[in-house]
Amino acid sequence: MAKPGNLTRSHHRLPKTSAPYNPKPNPPMTLRVVKRAVLCFAKTTSFPMASFVSSVTVTPRAKLRGVVFDMDGTLTVPVINFQAMYRAVLGDEEYVALRSTNPSGIDILHHIENWSPEKQQKAYQIIADFEKDGLDRLQIMPGAMELCGYLDANKIRRGLITRNVKDAVDLFHQRYEITFCPALSREFRPYKPDPAPLLHICSTWGVQPNEVIMIGDSLKDDVACGKRAGAFTILLDETGRYEKPEYAKVEHKPDFKVSSLKEVISLLESNFDLTP
């Protein structure tokens, strides 16, 4: 997968701290001073996200031709109480058991696929009720409008992948008058974290996955989907919950991590080729 240039895969640039042995005469004094300053900086500067995001130095900058967003918790303010929804679907005992074995989160949609049709129907109705309540309180995420306008101005495509229903996507489009195309909802199978929806969007656009970024607030769904497809990934972590120790050894780490969509524009300008 092509990578953006001259960067370590986090929002921070990490200095080079060592070089291979070279049996040549010492460089001029000015260059030695510069190298010594860089080494000093490396020893005294800490980068708290370096152990969480990918840490591979790459060149040159990758061409960015599209950005694919998650919806709930990324384009919209999170309003659905997922813990309450999972407890309502699973019951307290099964919820606690699943949570203990899946610290990064419960994949409720995949979990109920093996249930009987009658039990599935009840589960989907509970989920639909929680989602409807969320629609009534739908709010756009701060920075989303500005980021979408920036992408449009730079002729960078915008797509959407959500595990919510099509009605939720339609309401979002209507209420805020911004359209994502393609916009894939839960009706598209298989859904995240399977890479199929993201690969479908890349095929529709006629671009390669390594020319696309997936942005979302879920490691297990959004980041996993992006990494499996071969795309770049940005994790939106508003509250810092992914700094907890249990997330240190996750299989799929994001290429970048931000605490607000307002940070994404500068990240793109620093790390990607945005020319049309």
Catalytic (active-site) positions: 70, 72
DSSP string for the chain: ----SSB-SSSSPPPP-------SPPPPHHHHHHHHHHHHHHHH---TTTTTS----B-SPEEP-EEEE--BTTTB-----HHHHHHHHH-HHHHHHHHHH-TT---HHHHGGGS-HHHHHHHHHHHHHHHHHHHHT--BPTTHHHHHHHHHHTT-EEEEE-SS-HHHHHHHHHHH----SSEE-TTSSSPTTSSHHHHHHHHHHT--GGGEEEEES-IIIIIHHHHHHT-EEEEE-SS-GGGSGGGTT-SS--SEEESSGGGHHHHHHHHEE---
3-state secondary structure string across 76-128: ECCCCCHHHHHHHHHCHHHHHHHHHHCCCCCCHHHHHHHCCHHHHHHHHHHHH
